[in-house]
Copies of this chain bind each other. A is one copy, B any other.
Amino acid sequence: MKVSIITVGTELLFGQIINTNAAYLSKQLNLMGFDVMYHFVVGDNAKRLEEKLIDAYQDTNIAILTGGLGPTQDDITKEVVAEYMGAEMYMDERVKSDLIEFFSKRNRRMTDNNLKQTYLPIGCTPFYNATGTAPGFALEKDGKIAICFPGPPREMTWLFENGARQYLEHYADKKMYYKVLRTVGIGESDLETVLLPVIDGQTDPTIATYAKEGECALRIASQRTTIEDAKNAVDELIIDIDRYIGEYIYSYNNKEINDVVVDLLKEKNLKLSSAESATGGMFATTITDIPGSSSVFISSYVTYTPESKINDLGINGEVIQEKGVVSPEVAMDMAIAAINKSGSDIAVSITGYAGPDADEGHSPGEAYIGYVYGDRQGCIAVNTSRSLRDWNRRYFVLMMQKTVYLLLTDKMQ
């Protein structure tokens, strides 16, 4: 079935925000077996929105709209869609009570314009919103379907997963099944070369590789008439792929490496701690992103100055003087201090230059990762040769996660 995605919001036409909603929806809809034919972006203008809705329905049956469902005057999506479909509005009591609860819980006064959000088109399928104030909905008429979501990506994705997906399943004429394998330690081009015998002449399942800083994911997808057929085809191919790159795969179900690390720590009943300089707490942030991580993560010592490394971790000032604050020696001593102070079973540390600048004689992207786990300890040198601060910090964190992963799986060289 063919789909158009219409994103409503003048801020997109001003270039103030990027249309991530259209990308997310396209990805999910393709995986469900829909054909996404067009993206449209239109401003908060009723006439132009209606025109694009008409354009969309010229050769697609489903129009998915995001944005313009809020409480303000320029939120017009719901009204335009209802008008086009010839549906009157009704006040939805559940939306109203949710809304009242939403504000009272936050001890905030509910301004009257919020009530605008309690009205929905008669005959629609509401998607009640646990993440915000505006509900989404699906409305069908004469074989044309409109599905509306609020614009904030977090709300849109939540409503897609908790309502819209189930509604749409019914209209998907092909069934798709896919698995994402995540690897670390092998580049995208190497991966493709190694897998050539498997990839070559492969039509279904399809194999797609996605590179992210420092890691590479593999999507194996199959579209068949039944989900079982698709699943079997994917699982068979994965057995084949495993023979070639099994050693690099850390997840067969698209789990992020921080999630896998937390699982391994729980499984082995081990406690982790860290000492961070260049990453400024980002490593600890990724570990504590995982619910229940408090049972395996003790502490991170974010020591961002030489003094704090001395005062908080007891690093020897002379070592910093002689070797430099960004050095294998300091990284090693930070990891040792972290495990001793926290009483954890495993510790990882980092000192480096995130960029854009670095001290004399060093380059941004240079970093040293120290680790201690039982009688194993060591230091890994990293250099991205990039000056992109954000990119470097994310890469550093990934290398710290990888270090812990390799230690916990006895894969560390």
Seen from chain A, the residues whose Cβ lies within 8 Å of a Cβ on chain B are 7, 10-20, 22-30, 36-43, 48, 52, 55, 70-72, 74, 105-106, 108-111, 113-114, 131, 152, 154, 178, 180, 187-190, 192-193, 208-213, 219, 221, 276, 279-285, 287-289, 291, 293-294, 297-305, 307-308, 311-312, 341-343, 354-357, 383-386, 388-391, 393
A189-B111, A294-B305 known; A19 vs B16 contact (CB < 8 Å): no
Smallest CB separation, A62 vs chain B (Å): 14
Contact between chains at B22 and A41 (CB < 8 Å): yes
From B12, B29, B300, B390, A302 is in contact (CB under 8 Å) with B300
Oligomer: number of copies: 2
Q: Enumerate the 3 nearest inter-chain pairs by beta-carbon distance, A residue then B residue, closest first.
A: A280-B288, A15-B27, A281-B281
Contact between chains at A299 and B288 (CB < 8 Å): no
Nearest-CB residue, chain B, relative to A355: B291
- In the complex, what residues of B have CB within 8 A of residue A70's CB? 188, 211
Contact between chains at A301 and B304 (CB < 8 Å): no
- In the complex, what residues of B have CB within 8 A of residue A71's CB? 188-189, 192
Contact between chains at A285 and B287 (CB < 8 Å): no
Contact between chains at A288 and B281 (CB < 8 Å): yes
Nearest-CB residue, chain B, relative to A39: B41
Say what secondary structure dominates the interface of chain A. Answer: mixed
Contact between chains at B111 and A193 (CB < 8 Å): yes
A291-B356, A302-B281 known; A26 vs B13 contact (CB < 8 Å): yes
Contact between chains at A39 and B24 (CB < 8 Å): no
A11-B210, A19-B23 known; A193 vs B113 contact (CB < 8 Å): yes
- Complexed CA–CA distance, A63 and B355 (Å): 35
A189-B111, A280-B285 known; A37 vs B27 contact (CB < 8 Å): no
Contact between chains at B287 and A280 (CB < 8 Å): yes
- In the complex, what residues of B have CB within 8 A of residue A190's CB? 108-109, 111
- In the complex, what residues of B have CB within 8 A of residue A108's CB? 187, 190
From B41, B189, B280, B391, A114 is in contact (CB under 8 Å) with B189
- In the complex, what residues of B have CB within 8 A of residue A213's CB? 154
Report 18 cross-chain contacts, Cβ distance below 8 Å, ordered by A residue.
Answer: A11-B208, A13-B36, A13-B37, A14-B30, A15-B27, A38-B42, A109-B190, A152-B211, A279-B285, A280-B281, A281-B284, A285-B285, A297-B305, A301-B302, A301-B312, A302-B302, A311-B341, A312-B341
